[in-house]
Amino acid sequence: EPEVTQTPSHQVTQMGQEVILRCVPISNHLYFYWYRQILGQKVEFLVSFYNNEISEKSEIFDDQFSVERPDGSNFTLKIRSTKLEDSAMYFCASSEARGRGSDEPQHFGDGTRLSIL
């Protein structure tokens, strides 16, 4: 079964450094998402991306964050100047259509654990 793959599985970065998290969505999917889960807290939506532009974003997704689909297969999340509170598990997801129902659910990768020192 096709799956969303994320690399690396664990990223350790010094505070203030830039970090790029990478995702390869399922190949025929058109909608792409980033979520994060801070330890002990809920999974939170960051951003959705369709047709090479952001379609929806949360309050968390401020100017420090950006997303890109640099080629036909990768989808990246960049954090420009990392803070301690950016430490979390970051999940990428993709969906064939708008990811709203049983015919088009959002499929998640296994996440990248980001640790900011």
102 binds another protein (CB under 8 A): yes
Which residue lies nearer to another protein by CB, 20 or 43? 43
Q: Within 13 Å and on the Cβ side, how many CA atoms surround 73?
A: 5
For another protein (CB under 8 A), the number of binding residues is: 28
Cα distances from 48 to residues 77, 98, 105, in angstroms, run 11, 10, 14
How many other C-beta atoms can be found within 10 angstroms of the C-beta atom of residue 34?
25
Question: Residue 85: what are its φ and ψ, rounded to 5°?
Answer: -75, -5
Do residues 109 and 94 touch, judged by C-beta distance below 8 A?
A: no
31 binding another protein? (CB under 8 A): yes
Task: Point out which span in 14-22, 35-43, 63-71, 77-85 binds another protein (CB under 8 A).
Answer: 35-43
* Stretch near another protein under the rule CB under 8 A, chosen from 13-21, 66-74, 77-85, 104-112: 104-112
| Residues from 71 through 90 that contact another protein (CB under 8 A) | none
Least Cβ distance, residue 105 to another protein (angstroms): 4
DSSP conformational letter for 110? -
φ, ψ (nearest 5 deg) of residue 87: -60, 120
Among 4, 19, 114, 116, binds another protein (CB under 8 A): 4
Which residues bind to another protein, rule: CB under 8 A?
Answer: 4, 31, 33, 35, 41-45, 48, 55-56, 58, 91, 93, 95, 98-102, 105-111
